[in-house]
Amino acid sequence: MTSTAKPKIAIIGYGSQGRAHALNLRDSGFDVTIGLRPGGPTELKAKADGFTVKAPADAARDGDIVAILTPDMVQPQLYGEVIEPNIRQGACLLFAHGFNVHYGQITPRDDLDVVLVAPKGPGALVRREYEIGRGVPSVYAIHQDRSGQAEHLALAYCAGIGGARQNAIRTTFKEETETDLFGEQAVLCGGATRLVQAGWETLVEAGYQPEVAYYECLHELKLIVDLFYEGGITRMHEFISETAQYGALTRGDYIVDANTRAQMKQVLAEIQDGTFARQWIAEYAAGNANYKAMKQADLDHPIEAIGKKLRANMKWLASSQAQPAKPATAEAQPQSEAA
Ligand code: NAD
Ligand code: MG
């Protein structure tokens, strides 16, 4: 392949990221083939979207770029058994998260270019932003550059999914992996979930109506985050009342205190020294019993039933609720999801 021809792209996995990347790349003029296990849960969806679907081995053989967009935990076996024996000499192996390469679960073949293109957002948003002519900010990194073309290929892919339109930042596999895990654990998913649940429980235990507590602790969070997104904390301060500002400035530190900061450092230390990765890999290998039980507890939390009832009257949510952001069948299913 010359640097002027568009690389042929094989996308292995058609879940949250896979579907969004595939649709965006096709709309950007790339030749895209999808690699999926025959009869797997997302095969019909890929076909309905008009893609050629092949077995992962066949798709991998065809690609100038082979993007591995299956769940992280199935990637090592998939790579070893299906990708490495079939991907052609000198092709480019692409990941959307650095986990397996960074933690040594995948050691890519020496002749391959190995790159990372990670959109900083869920797949549904990667697609929606592309469709309205914007993009989700993305980071990219180069692990191996055997062809001298690795950065060119990563940026071509990044532009194809709409990510380079906005602030594509070069990073490393180490930085992407560690910051991504920290963000989702401490702030975005773990931190935000527990903050919302604990705030709601505090109000309900004190005798306030669960519905009112839901609006205060969960629903309104979006309105604040939208202000952060548009104009940072400065914009929030422009929009909230003086009373809210004074309360935030004096009481925020009760919540994120020295102990919370020490716990954040602990979360980061366990990411950096591999403790988290080893724990998650062992959990997955043992069949995910703890993961499933903890997730079920989140799904069974009483705030979920209250929210479901209230959201039924939020007519503007109807269209987004009809289409789940992530196919339910693509959730971690250790043995059946393995190649
Ligand atoms: P997902 O769970 O949504 O999708 C998985 C897809 O892989 C499904 O199509 C499934 O059928 C398929 N699959 C599973 N096992 C397979 C196998 N053995 N062979 C072939 N196909 C198989 O996954 P996702 O959340 O899109 O994650 C994909 C990658 O993107 C991961 O590396 C993840 O860290 C990264 N990422 C995800 C997000 C996100 O918001 N979900 C954001 C940035 C990066
Ligand atoms: Mg992540």
Predicted local confidence at residue 40, as pLDDT:
87
36 close to ligand 1 (CB < 6 Angstrom): yes
Predicted local confidence at residue 93, as pLDDT:
98
Predicted local confidence at residue 328, as pLDDT:
43
From the list 165, 112, 171, the residue with the least C-alpha distance to 137 is: 165
Average pLDDT over residues 257-262: 98
Q: Are 12 and 147 in contact (CB under 8 A)?
A: no
Average pLDDT over residues 163-188: 93
Q: Is 97 a catalytic residue?
A: yes
Ligand 2 mean position, distance from CA 181 (Å): 6
86 close to ligand 1 (CB < 6 Angstrom): no
Closest ligand to C-alpha of residue 325 is 1
Predicted local confidence at residue 320, as pLDDT:
59
Confidence band (pLDDT; 50, 70, 90) for 339? Answer: very low
Ligand 2 mean position, distance from CA 18 (Å): 14
Confidence band (pLDDT; 50, 70, 90) for 319? Answer: low
307 close to ligand 1 (CB < 6 Angstrom): no
Q: Which atom of ligand 1 is nearest to the CA of 17?
A: 26
Rounded to whole angstroms, the Cα distance separating 75 from 71 reads 7
Q: Are 12 and 60 in contact (CB under 8 A)?
A: yes
pLDDT tens track for 198-257 = 999 999 999 999 999 999 999 999 999 999 999 999 999 999 999 999 999 999 999 999
Average pLDDT of the residues of the chain? 93
Would you say residue 92 has pLDDT above 60? yes
Confidence band (pLDDT; 50, 70, 90) for 4? Answer: low
Hunting for tokens 């931190």 — which residue is that?
Answer: 191
Average pLDDT over residues 15-33: 98
Q: Edge-to-edge strands of the sheet including 169-170? A: 52-54, 32-35, 9-12, 65-68, 92-95, 113-119, 138-144, 169-170
16 close to ligand 1 (CB < 6 Angstrom): yes
Q: Which of 97, 143, 152, 237 is catalytic?
A: 97
Average pLDDT over residues 127-136: 92
Ligand 1 mean position, distance from CA 264 (Å): 27
Rounded to whole angstroms, the Cα distance separating 109 from 332 reads 27
Ligand 2 mean position, distance from CA 10 (Å): 22
Would you say residue 334 has pLDDT above 50? no
pLDDT tens track for 58-72 = 999 999 999 999 999
- Beta-carbon contacts of 339 under 8 Å, excluding residues fewer than 6 positions away, are 37, 56, 74, 77, 78, 81, 82
